A = this chain, B = another copy of it.
């Protein structure tokens, strides 16, 4: 074991850092980076540790767990690359950006497949040799369509599902298949402009900044915990189309940033919000 990441989440109490670092030290591991956070309101302790050295991760997890409050989550990140499936509609910019990073070894994950409810991006996935499944929603009930999408996804057994400008609302039933394992890029600075056509809303409201928000997908639309956000300045000369075009650059960068944080195991869920440890 070299350069492993240890993740801990439990009820807060005195002595947690000392206990955890004691176990790591006992196994001869050297801590090279460490970040903790205590959420005072909920009394929760979060810790992310990068340690160097060779050791038996299962045994270490068990030892640490024995020092922590009941119900503690203690786990080492896998050393294998995570498997991703991407869901898309017609917008190319987020998919293209992720395929580029993937093809050049910058993603720390494998894009196993892309599922689209349109065929518009099939050629793009093809350029990078990534399987693409067209599953049109036309003439189907939401349940039927989602069942087909699930069938297409299942063989790839993805750890994370990435909605890379997937423009359909997913049912709570679908979402329940990927608890804390599905992220979305929303084309606005949430919680402003929840729902569809945010750029039209933004133009009518005359905002001077537009943004993008990457968040976990939960049952409540556009209400999942936020992972990353950014904005860019705009002005009265921007048409709805101009806003949408300008927004694309923010969207793709924010989605890639959120995915990077997720794949580096920096993102913890804490109620309606995220804790992002450095």
Interface residues of A (CB under 8 A from B): 14-15, 17-18, 21-22, 24-25, 28, 30-40, 92-93, 96-97, 100, 103-104, 106, 124, 127-128, 189-193, 201, 203-209, 211, 225-231, 233, 235-237, 245, 249, 253, 256-257, 270-276, 278
Contact = CB atoms under 8 A, between A and B. Distances in A.
Count of identical protomers in the assembly: 4
Nearest to A250: B253
Nearest to A26: B18
A226 B253 contact: no
B37 A36 contact: no
Nearest to A91: B104
Contact of A25 (B15, B190, B236, B249): B15
A35 B201 CA distance: 26
A96 B124 CA distance: 12
Given A100-B100, A207-B226, A249-B256, A22 B18 contact: yes
Contacts of A209: 189, 211, 229-231
A92 to B, nearest CB: 5
A190 B189 contact: no
Contacts of A274: 206, 236
A205 B201 CA distance: 21
B205 A273 contact: yes
A275 B237 CA distance: 8
Nearest to A45: B31
A226 B208 contact: yes
Contacts of A25: 14-15, 18
A226 B205 CA distance: 8
Given A25-B15, A225-B206, A106 B245 contact: yes
Contacts of A229: 207-209
Contact of A205 (B14, B34, B124, B272): B272
Given A37-B237, A206-B273, 20 more contacts: A14-B28, A17-B17, A32-B38, A33-B37, A34-B36, A35-B35, A37-B236, A39-B236, A92-B104, A96-B100, A103-B127, A106-B245, A191-B205, A204-B271, A204-B272, A205-B273, A206-B225, A208-B226, A236-B270, A236-B274
